[in-house]
Amino acid sequence: MLKVALLTLGIVAISIALLCVKLIVQPNGKFASSHIGDNKEMRKRGIHCVQSMDRMMRRENLYKVKERI
């Protein structure tokens, strides 16, 4: 049981160290943003995050025809 716990702890420590290599080696190194709104190609295609698209779809259309019931 102890061997498995130590092995797991070692694997997690190595994984975290490998994830930090980019941050340590590069000057000004940081992880890229994973938000859709920050991606240039997605913005070109008119694709936004779900919350923004939902807000745009729920916006009331000022030019709609008022109907009588």
* pLDDT reported for residue 50: 83
Q: 10 Å Cβ neighbour count for 42?
A: 14
Domain assignment of residue 19, given as a range: 1-31
Domain shared by 39 and 56, yes or no = yes
Alpha helices in the chain (DSSP H): 2-25, 40-44, 50-58
* pLDDT reported for residue 8: 97
Residues, the chain: 69
**Total number of domains in the chain:** 2
- Token pair for 9: 């702890």
Q: What is the pLDDT of residues 5-57, one digit of tens each?
A: 999 999 999 999 988 887 777 777 676 777 787 888 888 888 888 888 788 88
**Terminal C-alpha separation, the chain:** 73
Residue 61 has pLDDT above 90, yes or no: no
* pLDDT reported for residue 6: 96
* pLDDT reported for residue 58: 85
Give domain status of residue 49, yes or no.
yes
pTM of the model: 0.42
Give dist(CA 12, CA 18) in Å, integer. Answer: 10
